[in-house]
Amino acid sequence: MSRIAFIGAGKMAEAILKELLRVEWAGKESIVLSDVDRERLESMAVEYGTITTPSNPDAARDAEIVLLAVKPQKLEEVLRELSGVIDAGQLVISIAMGKSTEFIEALLPEGIPVVRVMPNNPAMVGAAVSVLSYGRHADEEARRRAKEVFSCLGEVYEIAEMLQDQAMAISGCGPAYFYVIAEALCDAGVRLGLDRSLARKLVTGTMIGAGTMMRDSGEHPAQLKDMVTSPGGSTIAALEALEEAGLRNAFYKAVAAAWRRAKEV
């Protein structure tokens, strides 16, 4: 039997696939991909040597784990396709934004364990943050297997499903926030006369270092900020300018907007 079936072969599915192969959680012969885009399937088959099919039911039939990696707007249609071939012996994992385990369970036969996951963009380099929540029938074994899969990509956190959309607005969308900040800092460095390549290296190294400091020190961000902020110095002058520009309020609004959008999908 196929160990895992990917329903949808987009960028996030590819990121997950690549990491599972890299850490040898699965072999290429135990992975099957399905997608409506046949050219995409052909390129994935060439790149990774996995089994591919344009048929979602064929991919899901007899798979131990069925990973739903389709757009939220397509999820209901896909679940109706799969409802006749999936049974309670299989684990269904969905990475579709904004779609609850209750929504998924209602479209599948009774008793199927469902796990909802929101991984993020750094999954592409094995540095994801993935947030998991569980449906009514997800027992300890189902939870263990879901955590095992996403631990291959990076950090895994379990939360109540009622908080999934809030977490998505932070970790799911968060990489984009950081990329925008990084781009702005690079441009600011160029404006001051730095070579763009050097500015990018300085920004990248600084962001990685600051993130590592937060993770490893366990200190509150405010405490770490104070370590860099000398009385009357350049950092406090820069922070004052950020406050005047409304940086904090911009993030409050951005995260709330992302959360509201997830509710609309």
pLDDT surpassing 70 at residue 18:
yes
Q: Give pLDDT, residue 193.
A: 98
pLDDT surpassing 60 at residue 113:
yes
Structure tokens at 57: 């039911």
- Kindly state whether residues 62 and 146 are assigned to the same domain: yes
Any domain includes 24: yes
Any domain includes 169: no
Report the domain count for the chain: 2
Any domain includes 78: yes
Q: Give pLDDT, residue 264.
A: 85
Residue type, position 114, single letter = V
Any domain includes 139: yes
Residue type, position 26, single letter = A
Q: 239 CB contacts (<8 Å, ≥6 apart)? A: 225, 229
pLDDT surpassing 80 at residue 190:
yes
- Kindly state whether residues 125 and 185 are assigned to the same domain: no
- Kindly state whether residues 116 and 205 are assigned to the same domain: no
Burial group, residue 1, by CB count within 10 angstroms (0-12, 13-18, 19+): exposed
Q: Largest alpha-carbon pair distance within the chain? A: 68
Q: Give pLDDT, residue 140.
A: 97
In this prediction, residue 181 has a pLDDT band, given cuts at 50, 70 and 90, of very high
pLDDT surpassing 70 at residue 10:
yes
Q: 256 CB contacts (<8 Å, ≥6 apart)? A: 169
Q: Give pLDDT, residue 234.
A: 97
Any domain includes 17: yes
Task: Choose among 120, 166, 7: nearest CA to 74.
Answer: 7
Structure tokens at 246: 């409304």
CATH number at residue 107: 3.40.50.720
Element (H or E) spanning 104, and its range?
A: helix 101-106
Q: What is the pLDDT averaged over residues 187-216?
A: 97
Compute the distance between CA of residue 137 and CA of residue 1 in angstroms, rounded to an integer. Answer: 22
- Kindly state whether residues 179 and 159 are assigned to the same domain: no
Q: What is the pLDDT averaged over residues 190-212?
A: 98
Q: How many CB atoms lie within 10 A of CB 41?
A: 19
- Kindly state whether residues 114 and 236 are assigned to the same domain: no
pLDDT digits (tens, 9 = 90+) for 145-166: 999 999 999 999 999 999 999 9
- Kindly state whether residues 35 and 150 are assigned to the same domain: yes
- Kindly state whether residues 206 and 160 are assigned to the same domain: no
Q: Give pLDDT, residue 2.
A: 57
Q: Give pLDDT, residue 263.
A: 85
Across the chain, mean pLDDT equals 96
- Kindly state whether residues 185 and 133 are assigned to the same domain: no
pLDDT digits (tens, 9 = 90+) for 36-89: 999 999 999 999 999 999 999 999 998 999 999 999 999 999 999 999 999 999
Q: Which domain holds residue 11?
A: 4-164
CATH number at residue 259: 1.10.3730.10
Query: Do strands 4-7 and 65-68 pair parallel, antiparallel, or not at all (unpaired)?
Result: parallel
Q: Give pLDDT, residue 13.
A: 96
Q: Give pLDDT, residue 1.
A: 43
Give the three-state DSSP class for 108: coil
